Each structure stands twice: as C-alpha cells, then as structure tokens.
Amino acid sequence: MNNKIETYQPIVFSLLEQYAQHRPVNVQEFENEVVADRERNHFQLASIGWEKDGRFFHNVIFHFDIKPDGKIWIQVNNTDVDIAAELVERGVSKSDIVIGFQPPRYRPYSGYAVA
C-alpha cells in the first residue's frame, strides 16, 4: 500500500468521526454514519433519519476518495466547512488534496492539486 494512503486513511477517518458527533437542531430522529471502505479507499459521512415534519432523509455530508497516487479527492462537501483546510491542519499537503466536486477548469485556482 502507498505510504501516503497509510498516512491519510486515519486522518480522513478521524475527521469524519469528529463531524459525526454534530447534531442538527431541526431533525427529530437521525443518526450519522461514517462509512469506510479501507480496501478501496472510499470514505463518507451520511446522515439518515426523519425530519420533524415526518419526511425521511438520507444525505451524504462528506465523501472522500484516496486515489492510488495517495491524493485525497473531496468528492462531496455539503457543508459550509472548509474541509480541505481542516485536512491541511491535520498534516495533509495541499498538493495531495483535489477538490473533486469543482470543475477541472477551476481547480488550478483552488490552491490545491488539480488532479
């Protein structure tokens, strides 16, 4: 396994576990689930439950992939949190982070890797 992958897997996982503790105020019954496929390097935080008005929801909050080259691709960020900056604070190099949900033509302006 790539050394970066071994280094970055626990960083991504612990970040998701931290955010899984957050509790929205407008939701009656829900649970946050950290989904981790460490063999294929896919990591998600999903929120599942029932809203106060009785509607069911299932939302992916964050989705990260760690590619074979060791780069972390942020595929989904459905928050206002600068999750890439939090990865950097935890020791991930900006050159190893790709904002995957941004169109490729905008990535050179992100301050992070383009691919």
- Cβ atoms of 24 and 30 closer than 8 Å: yes
Residues 2-53 pLDDT 10s: 899 999 999 999 999 999 998 766 666 889 999 999 999 999 999 998 887 8
| Residue boundaries of the structural domains of the chain | 3-109
Which of 64, 65, 69, 27 is CA-nearest to residue 48?
27
User: Residue 43 corresponds to which amino acid?
Assistant: F
pTM assigned to the model = 0.92
CATH superfamily of 3-109: XisI-like (3.30.310.110)
Q: Cα separation of 24 and 78, whole Å?
A: 14
Find the helix or strand (DSSP H, E) in which 84 lies: helix 83-89
